[in-house]
Amino acid sequence: MCGSYSHSTGMAEISDFLKREVRQARARYNIAPRQLAPIVLMTATGPELHHFRWGLIPSWAKEEALGDKMINARIETVLEKPSFRTAFRLRRCLVIADGWYEWTAAGRTKQPWRICPVRGKGVVAFAGLHESWSPPEMGNLPEGQSYLRQTFTILTTEANATLSGLHDRMPVVLDRTSWVEWLDPKTRVEAAQALLLPADDADFHAYPVTPQVGSVRFESPLAHLPLPELFEG
């Protein structure tokens, strides 16, 4: 599962991928469900960067709150679930991040761990799906008015050996060479599925961080500091 992640690095790699300059948004050290976050999706003119709400709301949903249960989608069942299968075929996206958080039991409390690339700072692209939703009762709005939620979910797979001690699931981290193939709606479902692999054991590492990360209101660079460094400071 991925219930909290971050995006605080520069956008140079995304600008290079999009082949146009992308303005650096404010750093996000603790992105939580229901919050807006950057994703890349495919349009008729090529890939574009947008900010959608985390927690996919299926187009047929009667209530917006259903999105709270759809922050993640398991790759093993994504094509079986009505909530995700159409989006998997037609609306795949990249969820832009630089790491994520997991929690372990620490007595009566929980200890958060930050998981990030061993290579240091850099963009990570989770495999995601996006969807558009309007509440049924808003279907008769006056012309020119709309109530539209643009939402996304993060695909998860089995955790690799390095991270399995923290959680049995992890986000699918797409290799840079597969971004275009994943986004392209012309990519066959079988080919898209083949891209959904756990990251190599040596690619990511984890370290304990401040318990304040457990609060969705905590948005500080301190979220990325290893716990010993916080104590030393």
Residue 15 makes CB contacts below 8 A (sequence gap 6+) with 21, 22
Give the strand pairing for 5-7 and 99-106. Answer: antiparallel
Longest dimension (CA), the chain: 60
| CA count, 13 A, side-chain hemisphere, 197 | 9
**From 2, 93, 116, 219, active-site residue:** 2
Distance of alpha carbon 211 from alpha carbon 27, whole angstroms: 20
Catalytic status, residue 116: no
**From 64, 93, 102, 137, active-site residue:** 102
- Sign for the pseudo-dihedral over CA of 187, 75, 97, 95: positive
Catalytic status, residue 102: yes
Q: What is the DSSP letter of 179?
A: H
Positions marked active-site: 2, 102
